[in-house]
């Protein structure tokens, strides 16, 4: 995402493709219920978040797409989005969204090879 992009109110609305989306935080319930967790969830489920996520998978399916969300998460949520428990929660949200949109999980623990707050992540495919 461009460094100077600031999501407006429309971009931060829930993506219409997620109207029937349900999420189970599982072991990340405490992180999900926090203010930061709710802000992350709303950001990743937004039009801008889903577009960044799908775009990252389409552009580089061999790389974890969570990195494509990093800029918008930092802008909307701040540094708190990158605490270890929150990063794990973000990864789980990403997987649920990708699978809801018809994608599939391919592999986990794929090293991130660019400057990022994420060390590794899962990769996905829409093929």
Give the pLDDT confidence of 36-91 residue by residue, as tens digits. Answer: 999 999 999 999 999 999 999 999 999 999 999 999 999 999 999 999 999 999 99
Residue 40 in any domain: the answer is yes
| Percent of the chain scoring above 70 in pLDDT | 98
Residue 14 in any domain: the answer is no
Residue 21 in any domain: the answer is no
Instruction: Tell me the pLDDT band of 3, cut-offs 50, 70 and 90.
Output: low
Residue 34 in any domain: the answer is yes
3-class secondary structure, 46: strand
Residues in contact with 53: Cβ distance below 8 Å, sequence separation at least 6, in sequence order? 44, 65, 68, 69, 94, 97, 98
Residue 13 in any domain: the answer is no
Residues in contact with 55: Cβ distance below 8 Å, sequence separation at least 6, in sequence order? 68
Task: Record the pTM.
Answer: 0.93
Structural domains in the chain (count):
1
In three-state form (DSSP H/G/I as H, E/B as E, the rest C), the secondary structure along 58-114 is: HHCCCCCHHHHHHHHHHHHCCHHHHCHHHHHHHHHHHHHHHHHCCCEEEEEEEECCC
Computed over every residue of the chain, the mean pLDDT equals 95
Domain that holds residue 79: 29-125
- For the chain, state the CA radius of gyration: 13
pLDDT, residue 6, reads 82
Nearest one of 126, 86, 74, 82 to 105, comparing CA atoms: 126
Residue 9 in any domain: the answer is no
Kindly tell me if the per-residue pLDDT of 120 is higher than 60: yes
Residue 121 in any domain: the answer is yes
Residue 16 in any domain: the answer is no
């Amino acid at each position: 995402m461009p460094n100077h992009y600031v999501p407006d109110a429309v971009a931060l609305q829930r993506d219409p493709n997620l109207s029937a989306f349900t999420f189970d935080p599982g072991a990340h319930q405490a992180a999900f219920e926090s203010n930061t967790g709710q802000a992350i969830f709303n950001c990743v489920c937004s039009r801008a978040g889903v577009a960044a996520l799908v775009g990252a998978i389409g552009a580089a399916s061999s790389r974890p797409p969570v990195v494509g969300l990093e800029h918008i998460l930092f802008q909307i949520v701040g540094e708190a989005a990158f605490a270890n428990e929150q990063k794990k929660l973000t990864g789980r949200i990403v997987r649920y969204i990708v699978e809801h949109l018809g994608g599939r999980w391919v592999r986990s623990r794929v090293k991130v090879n660019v400057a990022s707050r994420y060390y590794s992540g899962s990769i996905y495919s829409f093929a």
